Amino acid sequence: MKNISKIIGWVLGILGIVLGIWCLTKGEASNEGPVNLLLRYSYFLLIAAVVILLGLALIQAARNNPKSLIKALCVIVGIAALVAIAYALASGDPVVNVKNQPSATWLKLTDTIMLLVYILGGAAILSILFGVIRNAINK
């Protein structure tokens, strides 16, 4: 599994470099706003990383314990529900101080990802605090 992680890391790194170069060259050669192009680039990398992560989690769950595959699928459904709620709550307001505004769809997706980052960041901080408190109580 360590080799697969290294390979996927290299693939995502090379993909990031290639798409970054493509983004910078295409942004100068066309009339499309660089903000919109960079948002597409970021979304593509995010989607690629999530798909690879979920695929590996399902393969690992199926290989180790086929019964845990149901648990993994329940987690994926929960994550999909969280993303759907964040998408429903996202406002999609225009960006401040930017001449070339991205499309409304990209603005909505950006707000969705920002909400997910806030939710997951808050959950990470709470889990750290509860872990510290639990360890202090157990000792």
pLDDT band per the 50, 70, 90 thresholds, residue 15: confident
Nearest CA to 89 out of 107, 112, 121, 110 is that of 112
Query: What does the pLDDT read at residue 112?
Result: 92
In which element (H, E) is residue 116 found?
helix 104-138
* pLDDT (tens digit per residue) in 18-40: 877 776 776 554 555 666 667 77
pLDDT band per the 50, 70, 90 thresholds, residue 1: low
* pTM of the model as a whole: 0.60
Averaged confidence pLDDT in the chain: 82
Query: What does the pLDDT read at residue 85?
Result: 94
Q: Which amino acid is residue 35, in one-letter code?
A: V
pLDDT surpasses 90 at 95: no
